[in-house]
A and B are shown apart, each in its own frame.
Chain A
Amino acid sequence: EDQVTQSPEALRLQEGESSSLNCSYTVSGLRGLFWYRQDPGKGPEFLFTLYSAGEEKEKERLKATLTKKESFLHITAPKPEDSATYLCAASILTGGGNKLTFGTGTQLKVEL
């Protein structure tokens, strides 16, 4: 069965304190690993897609990396506005299209 697991479930950081979020996956036929940011009561906001092991992508204070079994979202010198839930999802072939299988997310709180 396809499975995506995120850790930790929750993370509290001080402003400027860098850290990493983990996403491990066990899926058949990975067609991409997605990272989203979700604010309370809102839809997920697309951050990155990674397609092959060794790939890295960056956006402001965020950097995503991918291996054959897991992905990391590194947050460098976070600010309070980075507080949100970060979701990762594996894109998997279903029928003729792709579906996203999500983890349960990491709830990040950045404090002053």
Chain B
Amino acid sequence: ETGVTQSPTHLIKTRGQQVTLRCSSQSGHNTVSWYQQALGQGPQFIFQYYREEENGRGNFPPRFSGLQFPNYSSELNVNALELDDSALYLCASSLAVGQPRNEQFFGPGTRLTVL
């Protein structure tokens, strides 16, 4: 069974640039969620994708957007990067959306640094 994978591992960008982060879900999982974790904080929910559609969103501006593909992999896009976007970005996959018992399993994360 393949776990959740993310790429790239690390990324350095400058303010105003755009970035795309990628995630492959665990084998058999059809739902992907994205989280932002600032240093010393718990992860914050960005949004969730199911059947290629956004299925719930946290308090993040529209410059944070995403995609889910037919193979359940996903992308997180961030436009007009700001210094405060520097964080560990985590992807989590789960078996079925809306089900009471749906553990979310996390990938290793992408460390984004905005200069």
Interface set of A (CB-CB < 8 Å, partner B): 4, 31-32, 34, 36, 41-46, 49, 51, 87, 89, 91, 93-105
Contacts and interface: CB of A to CB of B under 8 A. Distances in A.
Given A43-B108, A46-B106, A94 B44 contact: no
Contacts of A45: 106
Contacts of B108: 42-43
Contacts of A105: 42
Contacts of B56: 94-99
Given A44-B90, A103-B42, A104-B41, A97 B48 contact: yes
Interface in B93-115: 94, 97-109, 111
Contacts of B92: 100
Interface string B27-41: 000010101000011
